[in-house]
Structure 1
Amino acid sequence: MASINEVIDLSPKGDIAVVSVNSPPVNALSAKVREGLYKAFVSANADTSVRAIVVICEGRTFIAGADISEFGKPSAGPTIRDIQDLLEAAPKPVIAAIHGTALGGGLEVALAAHYRVATKSAKAGLPEVNIGLVPGAGGTQRLPRIVGVETALDLVTSGRHVPAQEAQRMGLFDHLVDGDLREGAIAFASSVVAEGKPLLRIRDNNEKLDAAKIFPEIFAEFRKANAKRFRGFDAPEANIQAIEAAVNESFEVAMEIERGLFRKLVAGTQSGAQRHVFFAERQASKIPEVPEDTPTRPIRKVGIVGAGTMGGGIAMNFLNAGLPVIIVEADQGALDRGTATIQRNYESSLSKGKLSPSDVAARMGLLTPSLQFDELADCDLVIEAVFERMDIKKEVFEKLDGIAKPGAILASNTSYLDLDEIAAATSRPQDVIGLHFFSPANVMTLLEVVRGSATAKDAIASAMTLGKKIGKVPVLVGNCHGFVGNRLLAQRQREVQKLLLEGAKLWDIDRVIYDFGMPMGPFAMNDLAGIDLGLDPNNKTPNSVRELLVHLGRRGQKTGAGYYDYDGNRNRSNSELVEQVVRDFAAQRGIAQREISDEEILERCLYPMVNEGAKILEEGIALRASDIDVVWVKGYGWPVYRGGPMHWAELVGLKRILDRLRELQKIHGDDFKPAPLLERLVAEGRGFKTL
């Protein structure tokens, strides 16, 4: 075995040269890897005793992509395209041997090989769209030539990872290996040599592109069909344009078009924001005072108190991960309804082909409904998901304290309440933690992990590890009213209601927030959830527009009327009645209405959120500004291409936000009083990322 450099080896296996990449953790195409690959291929190509070349990776995966940390920096050494040119022009067969994931630049390198073999568990994809980019090394040019234009459009705009069997069917993989990949790849290479198979260069195969030229409308139809999914994003359109170039231009010209699109995107704010979120999500799991080697408590069985919407959704996360769940309710009817909802959700996934009948049976088989609290005694984790009222939650925790085994983690799904007060209802506050799931709990990926003043480090480590196991993005937050996500949301909600009374039309507020990139405006969202949610049904004296509408029977989409009117298909329209209710209520409160610009709506809704984020950082409720960004991107629909509220604030300019907050404070009072941290950062010319 010859060592090319510290990450690349070149070794013979008879007349087959094996180029091996060993650059943990994911064999990314760093400058060192590119340099070693280039030298290895030059050497193997020049060696007359070598009749074929196999490129393979050590560790858990094939090349999983480019080194994102190098994006936007001057290129060092050979480029990916230099390596591809060597592979494609090699006078002997080059076989890429794939295990784990061949993603982005990794797949682009493999597509320049003459053949691709893979393990049956391997996956491949071009996920650059998820960080606001197009593939930069011919992915949009070679892919449609091998899988066809329609399939390529789907893959590059979704970024999905294609399983090996599907990849083989579409022609992406030539052969799936049983057993050892290295031996299987060498055997395949030997058969290619023995049978004199041709050196297949994907770039020279235009057959599937020619078929697309007959139906040029394929691109317009694809754009139209996916307009909602692509709303606000630059990268999907750029990927479509790159594949259009593959169809309409020569390979060389289209490669330059792809590269130009890549350069434009990588320098833009959207890709910068999406890359920020990519790294922020990974950074969120790093907790300085809870090292990675902190022991975790084994979680083999989970108990859930409450079988309502949240309890049932939470249960599904653990069932999906293969963990037994016992779900407890005080009432048989509520228990039956909760269990039936879980069953319906799984049957819905079955009907869509996402689960098999055996999957549904296995997951439901792990669920034990019960009316007996005592049956939670052997659970390693118990999550309370009852009504959001302190007295009810404390009562549950008092019971759990007397039932749960020593060392069991006792978690609350509270959205706002004081975790320390809840923990005080037990004799073991070190075992109490908040696990704030977001609705629908079986779908939303964010998990706010709330630590109390006494929460043990191993309980925190266990919760963070478990969050990843059940497919969530866990973010550690401190204990305060609303924690991180809802505390910022409260700032926007206050201003939304004030703007409404001051004269802004609710549909204009919704439009401004929607056009910013949020999935729905705040009033449309309230109608969807039910505007009576959380209101005291016994209150006979309305003190807000919301309460007035509920008293009029307008509870949202479920009653066909809320802030908006709805037809039988739940299509909304503006309501003159609601507009009159707002005018009358404002008049009763002595609030003069006026025209309010879109700019003011956006500033008053979003700048206070940034300001509150600064307070949260100063108080230590969030470890990092990027953690706040992850919470809002993953839990509240903040557009990922804007990077989260704190990242976005730096793009806007902290001084501009501070100056505007001071202006608004003079007009509207101390709701807009700037956070001391924001003032300090502006004075020092620094940003949130410097903290």
Structure 2
Amino acid sequence: MAVTTTSRDGIAVITFENPPVNGMGLAIRRGMTDALAAANADDAISGIVITGGGTIFSGGADIKEFNTPRAEQAPNLHDVIAAVEASPKPVCIAINGTTLGGGLELSLGANYRVANAKAEVGLPEVKIGILPGAGGTQRLPRVVGLETALNMIVSGASVPAGKLARTALFDAVVEGDVVDAAVALLKDRIAAGGPHPRVRDRKVEHDDAEAFIAWARMGVAAASKHFPAPLRCVDAVAASLKPFDVGMTVEREGFTVLLNSPESKALRHAFFGERAAGKIDDIGADVVPRAIDRVGVIGAGTMGGGISMNFVNAGIPVVLVETAQEALDRGLATIRRNYEASAKKGKLTEAQVEQRMALLTPSLDYAALGEADLIIEAVYEDYAVKQSVFEKIEAVAKPGAILATNTSTLDVDRIAAFTKRPQDVLGLHFFSPANVMRLLEVVRGAQTAKDVMATAMAMAKRIRKTAVVSGVCDGFIGNRMIEQYSRQAGFLLEEGALPQQVDRAMEAFGFAMGPFRMGDLAGNDIGWAIRKRRYVEQPGMVYPKNGDLLCEMGRYGQKTGKGWYDYVPGDRTPHPSAEVEAMIIAQSQELGITRRAISDQEIVERLVYALTNEGARLLEEGIAARASDIDIVYLSGYGFPVWRAGPMFHADQVGLYNVLAAMRGYARGHRGECWEPAPLLVELAGAGLSFNQYTARPRAAA
């Protein structure tokens, strides 16, 4: 972390470096302010260029200082921008690469800006529930226009500098060395004499600003009903039509309100949680990942085909192995159909479709996997089947190849024991459809080598997955928790609810789908198969019987045209089923339960707190390293509402004392034994702490 100054023909060049993204932390802000003052005090200096070290100008604020006093400690970003804007000597910003958030706001405080044509600029603050708070909403409209600025700020999207080359944002956009260009431009402007322009002195020009703002406000309100930040952005940008200082007051008020909003707290939690999930505490930078240049996938069904597409999309060749030619042909046809559908939507060219298909090598012979660096099996969830597959893999896999199981519930350590190289085995639990879903659970076995884990996490980034590490247990993080959620949904049916009421309540809470619609989509027979195994392995576990009865009726879901709901051929719209309602009511009578009215609040609390309680057990056991890891699993793979940031964060916001009190109330009702609180929940509630203040005790690892 450093700020250095050099001199070029009477121009001071101030360079700041804070890898990896040149975040403007306190040390950088102090160094920059001091360097600016020194340059202004030097009679030999006539102008100042500020640039970022490396290939990035600045990613904005230093995320290591978020939510800490250092973020606003003097000189804060406002102070730095004010110093740049008030400099008696002209300042030019040399934008050498990506410039986001506070980095762009800093540049707008300068007299001139020169950008590399490949640089991207943007104000992404809305993505974490706030608005640009250092003048971005006031200065950007003055240089790129009201409409362009509003679109950039409300969307948070970055834009290539070349697309803004004709605006007043840049005085020059160049292909060559941006610092050389900035020095040359500054010398020319100094020679031409002053005054040197300030962005704050410009006026926002628009033919009918009031009508445009009104139209924008309606559109943004309709598209962002759960998020207050986009509308606040509209308000702040609209204020740029007023005198600069008035607009700055509106911006600051909006920023302060949003910073303390529950939605922003949730989005910031998700932002930091996703970054934390990619780190494994006992694996440092000294652990070198293995090279993954070729991948093998066993099983060309829906899951295997989707897994293959992830790697092909990243340009990694895949050997796809099946046991029958018909299954292999069907799998390849499905993959091609998926790509051609993307091409019809304009997302791929026909040439790209063919390039991706060419990266697939189909085979009926396991020997074709001999050169693969990573082999993933995606076969039926049965230990005997897994054993047969892994024995065949071991016979052909080269030394050092990573062997992965895509199991969603089975014991990865037991599977690893089918081989003589358990250190090379781990779980890679993709979620269906694997080519679409972001989540990847990376399951660490008792003997999984550290470099295997490092490879998996690096590979996940390469194929654009959100990876979360889980220890070995039945169902890992996501499915182990969702089982308790599903049990409560079933118990609610026994007591008086119907599937449509439960689904409506959960969707009103913010879930993309309620549990019964989701069951119909995924296939109710999948859960049935898992329960059958549970009845043998965990005979003490009580399950509601309505799910089994549904499957005995052949109602597996959308694939059979009927599940918890009825479906019309070719239409996924769920229609309440009289047959299912009769089955549910009869089951209540058989159990001797008098059905009652159940509130939506009770439905939501019972399902969400069932997730929370099981999540607490996962933390206790060290299956999950952090509460935020659990939240990222649910945000990325299970449709938990983003503005609530996951079951653990949501519980923290409700207050663990209140969560525990509600659970104890439900423990007095039907199936009350299911509400035994996790000891960690009791401990944290008693101490007035939150899940996100707790770090799980890690399991011993190889």
Query: TM-score, normalization: structure 1?
Result: 0.91
- Residue equivalent to 1:514: 507
The letter for the 1-side match of 2:438 is T
Alignment partner of 2:129 out of 132, 143, 151: 132
Specify the alignment match of 2:683 in structure 1.
680
Q: 2:445 aligns with which of 423, 448, 452?
A: 452
| Cα RMSD (Å) | 2.8
Change over 3 Å in CA distance of 1:315–1:153 after alignment to 2: farther
622-631 or 356-365: bigger deviation: 356-365
1:654 maps to a residue whose letter is: L
Distance in 1, Cα, partners of 2:86 & 2:389: 70
Q: Specify whether residues 470 and 264 from structure 1 end up closer, same or farther in structure 2 by C-alpha distance, changes over 3 A only.
A: same
Quote the residue 1:3 is aligned against: none
Q: Give per-residue Cα distances to partners, 1:283-336, cap 9 Å, x unaligned.
A: 223323323311322211111111222212212222222211111122223222
Alignment of 1:259-658 (within 5 A): 259-533=252-526, 535=528, 544-546=545-547, 548-549=549-550, 555-557=556-558, 561-566=562-567, 570-658=572-660
Q: Does 1:58 align with 2:53?
A: yes
Choose 209-218 or 482-491, whichever is displaced more: 209-218
SS in 1 for 2:165: helix
The answer to whether the 8 Å contact 2:22/2:56 transfers is yes
Structure 2 residue matching 1:512: 3-state secondary structure: helix
Deviations 1:528-554 (A, max 9, x none): 3344455569x9xx9954455556665
1 CA distance for matches of 2:328 and 2:156? 40
Output the CA distance in 1 between the equivalents of 2:115 and 2:210: 32
Evaluate the alpha carbon distance shift between residue 239 and residue 436 of structure 1 in structure 2; reply closer, same or farther with a 3 A threshold: same
**Match of residue 175, structure 1, among 161, 169, 172:** 172
In 2 relative to 1, CA 660–282 (structure 1 residues): closer, same or farther, beyond 3 Å?
same
Question: What SS does the aligned partner of 2:283 have?
Answer: coil
Q: Is 1:690 the equivalent of 2:694? A: yes
C-alpha spacing 1:560/1:47, structure 2 compared with 1 (3 Å): farther
Amino acid of the structure 2 residue aligned with 1:264: V
Residue 666 of structure 2 is aligned to residue 664 of structure 1: yes
Q: Is the 8 A contact 2:60 2:104 kept in 1?
A: yes
Distance 1:142 1:680 in 2: 50
Is 1:73 the counterpart of 2:73? The answer is no
- Between 1:597-606 and 1:173-182, the stretch displaced more is 173-182
Q: In the alignment, which of 155, 158, 161 is matched to residue 155 of structure 2?
A: 158
Query: What residue is the counterpart of 1:115 in the other structure?
Result: 112
Decide which of 10, 21, 38 is 2:33's aligned counterpart: 38
One-letter code of the match for 1:146? V
Tell me if structure 2 keeps the 8 A contact 1:114–1:199. yes
TM-score normalised to structure 2 length? 0.89
Task: Please name the residue that 1:251 is paired with.
Answer: 244
Query: What residue is the counterpart of 2:94 in the other structure?
Result: 97
> How many Å separate the matches in 2 of 1:187 and 1:359?
43
Equivalent residue pairs, number: 679
Between 13-22 and 298-307, the greater mean CA deviation after superposition: 13-22
The correspondence for 1:20, drawn from 15, 35, 55, is 15
Contact 1:72 1:266 in 2 (8 A): no
Taking a change above 3 Å as real, the CA distance of residues 9 and 561 of structure 1, as seen in their structure-2 partners, is same
CA drift of 1:565 comes to 4.6
* Counterpart position of 2:540: none
**SS across alignment from 1:36:** helix
Deviation, 1:32, is 2.3
Which residue of 1 is the match for residue 3 of structure 2? 8
Pair 402,645 (structure 1): closer, same or farther in 2 beyond 3 Å? same
Contact map agreement 1:232 1:517 (CA 8 A) in 2 = no
**Are residues 660 and 339 of structure 1, via their aligned partners in 2, closer, same or farther at CA, if it must alter by over 3 Å?**
same
Deviates more, 1:201-210 or 1:361-370: 201-210
Separation in 2, partners of 1:144, 1:572: 46
Aligned-partner Cα distance in 2 for 1:457–1:596 = 49
In 2: Cα distance, 1:202 partner to 1:557 partner: 58
CA contact (8 A) 1:513 1:602 kept: yes
- Which residue of structure 1 lines up, in the alignment, with residue 186 of structure 2? 189
Change beyond 3 A, Cα 1:216–1:608: closer
Q: Note if contact 2:640-2:646 (Cα within 8 Å) is conserved in structure 1.
A: yes
Matches within 5 A, 1:205-244: 205-223=202-220, 227=223, 230-244=224-238
| CA apart distance, 1:666 | 3.2
**Aligned partners of 2:506, 2:685: CA distance in 1, in Å?**
26
Q: 1:670 is matched by which residue type in structure 2?
A: E
Q: In structure 2, what residue type is equivalent to 1:495? A: Q
Q: 2 CA distance for matches of 1:36 and 1:311?
A: 53
Q: Match for 1:619: what amino acid?
A: E
Would you say the 8 A contact 1:178–1:184 is kept in 2? no
Hey, what's the Cα distance between the residues in 2 that align with 1:238 and 1:182? 36
**Residue type at the aligned position of 1:244:** A
**Is residue 303–residue 383 contact of structure 1 (8 Å, CA) maintained in 2?**
yes
**Tell me, what secondary structure is at the counterpart of 2:667?**
helix
Contact kept, 8 Å, 2:487 with 2:544, in 1: the verdict is: no
Residue identity opposite 2:683 in structure 1: R
Taking the aligned partners of 1:480 and 1:558, their CA distance within structure 2 comes to 30
Structure 1 residues 562 and 172: alpha-carbon distance in aligned structure 2, compared to 1, 3 A threshold: farther
Structure 1 residues 208 and 521 mapped into 2: Cα distance closer, same or farther (>3 Å)? Answer: farther
The CA distance in 2 between the partners of 1:348 and 1:153, in whole Å, is 33
User: Percent of aligned positions with the same letter in both sequences?
Assistant: 49
Do the aligned partners of 1:144 and 1:209 also contact (CA within 8 Å) in 2?
no
